[in-house]
Chains A and B, each alone.
Chain A
Amino acid sequence: MSAIRTSRSPDLERLEAEGFRLRIVQGSAHHLLVAGIPAVNSRREVVRGTLYSPLEIDRDGKTVNPVSNHQCWWIGQEAPCDSNGRVMSEMISNAAAEDKGDGIVTSVAFSRKRADKTPYANLHEKMWTYVRMIWHEAQAIDPACDPRTERAVPAVVEAQARVFRYPDMATTRAGIGAATAKLLTRRVAIIGLGGTGSYVLDLLAKTPIAEIHVYDGDDFLLHNAFRAPGAPHIDDLKEPKKVDWFGAIYERMHMGIIRHPYHVLAAQLPELEGFDFVFVAIDDAKARKVILEFLIAHKVPFIDVGMDLALDGENRLRGTSRVTVGTPEYHTHIAEVVSFEAPPADEIYRNIQVADLNMLNAAMAVNKWKRMRGFYADDVREHHSLYTIATQVLVKEDRA
């Protein structure tokens, strides 16, 4: 993802050439700000404010037209008033401040559609519609005021550190930049790229974590294809390392996938010290014990996942998905709820896993991490949950 150039988008280029002061912010979401718009305040003075619009662009950094979001927001001391000093409430859809993320807080939301209710053809038409309404009132007081500078000024483009190879338009279109920004994280590890770990990677690769370190020493085998996201071609099944198989896929989107083609054993534990968060998705109970004990001792927060499925007497599967959180503040429950000893492998303890339960286990874990970060609301604040398929029971324990 490269910095946006207005020259790629005729609507932005035209606004810029007309003398509008454009600021483009490429952060957790993409934003367009037009500063210096003359507006009337409640004391009938002409003041300047900024118009805000989400900025939807395509993979090449060109604006997407017609414009999917008809709304604009205002950043200013007061809501714009008419020339009598009365707030223009007929165009205001929300009079409260909204956090758009990336340090942008709006004061008032506008909603003004085209008369025929069709979308604005482009950002030039959309921004001008809002500019005209606000400026028109200011002109009644000061006919000389103008939102445009006399000479064109180049748009200011602020591109934050890149995580994705192309812009995150899901966040921009949804208008949840402020929530997504809470997921900004420096370094996260996924230990184990089995069925569950690969789905954890699938979900984390779509979040603004700077570095996602993946640890697994195993090869990607035929059976793994049936318990992993995506659909490998038969020619792909040449037993690559799991970290190489998944690394190559997710590097297409996320720039910080870092491969570690080995299992985490005692010798590798020091590598875990610098992580902001660790997802543990492994089968080996003994390894789980040393890893979790190390993470607790070194105050690294983590989520440990695990599932179990078995056939009942009628060849139907029953099973449970477990998600357990450990933090520096809350971890004494771990020894009570996580198995640190492997039962002997026999008929009862066959390793049965199915893609949708791997996926669910991973989704529960990533969802919990997002709740811990404040992306989602987290009223329950549990540190251990169990979901059981047959009964649809959802146990939520260790609330703190």
Chain B
Amino acid sequence: MQPSVETAAHQPHEVSFDITVNGVAHVWHRRRMSYDDAVKLAFPNGPTGGDIRYSVSWTKPDGQEGGLRPGQSVEVVDEMTFDVRNTDKS
């Protein structure tokens, strides 16, 4: 299913996943995505830190889904989708 992952253990630099973050396509070269990684892909210029919290949700093509909180990370697969939002409006 993911040949790039199979070889990744031996050749970590070859890892490559096509993902989208907030609807924008990215190629991701690591096997995991952390909360900080996802926020940085979504908002490269921030703001981050302090009391700012983003709501991160993700889904994989097989239907798995979940969230990411500060300090957490998730295994990345091809065609994985992340949404990173500042859910502070009413």
Give the B interface residue count (CB, 8 A).
27
CA distance A391 to B61 in the complex (A): 10
Give, as a whole number of angstroms, the nearest-CB distance from B3 to chain A: 25
Within 8 A of B (CB), among A345-400: 348-349, 351-353, 358, 361, 386, 388, 390-391, 393-395, 397
Q: Which stretch, A16-24, A47-55, A282-290, touches the partner chain B?
A: A282-290
Query: Can you give 30 contacting A-B residue pairs, CB < 8 Å?
Result: A192-B90, A282-B90, A288-B88, A289-B51, A306-B55, A307-B90, A313-B24, A318-B22, A320-B57, A322-B87, A336-B70, A337-B55, A339-B52, A341-B47, A341-B50, A341-B52, A344-B47, A386-B57, A388-B83, A388-B85, A390-B23, A391-B59, A391-B83, A393-B57, A393-B58, A393-B59, A394-B65, A395-B57, A395-B65, A395-B66
Q: Tell whether A194 is near chain B: CB-to-CB under 8 Å.
A: yes
Within 8 A of A (CB), among B14-72: 22-24, 43, 47, 50-55, 57-59, 65-67, 69-70
Q: Tell whether B13 is near chain A: CB-to-CB under 8 Å.
A: no
Contacts of B55 in A (CB 8 A): 306, 308, 320, 322, 337, 386
Contacts of B85 in A (CB 8 A): 308, 310, 318-320, 388
Interface string of B67-90 (1 = CB under 8 A from A): 101100000000001010111111
Residues of A within 8 A of B (CB): 192, 194-197, 281-283, 285, 288-289, 305-310, 312-313, 316, 318-322, 335-344, 348-349, 351-353, 358, 361, 386, 388, 390-391, 393-395, 397
Please tell me if the beta carbons of B51 and A339 are within 8 angstroms of each other in the complex: yes
Contacts of B24 in A (CB 8 A): 312-313
| Given known contacts A320-B57, A386-B55, A393 and B83 CB-to-CB distance under 8 angstroms | yes
Closest 10 A-B residue pairs measured CB to CB? A312-B23, A340-B51, A322-B87, A341-B51, A395-B67, A308-B85, A306-B87, A281-B90, A196-B90, A320-B85
Please tell me if the beta carbons of A308 and B88 are within 8 angstroms of each other in the complex: yes
Give, as a whole number of angstroms, the nearest-CB distance from A204 to chain B: 15
- The DSSP consensus for interface residues of chain B is loop
Please tell me if the beta carbons of B65 and A391 are within 8 angstroms of each other in the complex: yes
Give, as a whole number of angstroms, the nearest-CB distance from B29 to chain A: 23
Please tell me if the beta carbons of A353 and B89 are within 8 angstroms of each other in the complex: yes
CA distance A3 to B18 in the complex (A): 67
Residues of B within 8 A of A (CB): 22-24, 43, 47, 50-55, 57-59, 65-67, 69-70, 81, 83, 85-90
Give, as a whole number of angstroms, the nearest-CB distance from B85 to chain A: 4
CA distance A335 to B69 in the complex (A): 11
Contacts of B53 in A (CB 8 A): 336-340
CA distance A82 to B87 in the complex (A): 65
Give, as a whole number of angstroms, the nearest-CB distance from A344 to chain B: 7
Query: Which residue on chain B has the smallest CB distance to residue A286?
Result: B51
Please tell me if the beta carbons of B23 and A313 are within 8 angstroms of each other in the complex: yes
Contacts of B88 in A (CB 8 A): 283, 285, 288, 306, 308, 339, 342
Please tell me if the beta carbons of B57 and A339 are within 8 angstroms of each other in the complex: no
Give, as a whole number of angstroms, the nearest-CB distance from B28 to chain A: 17
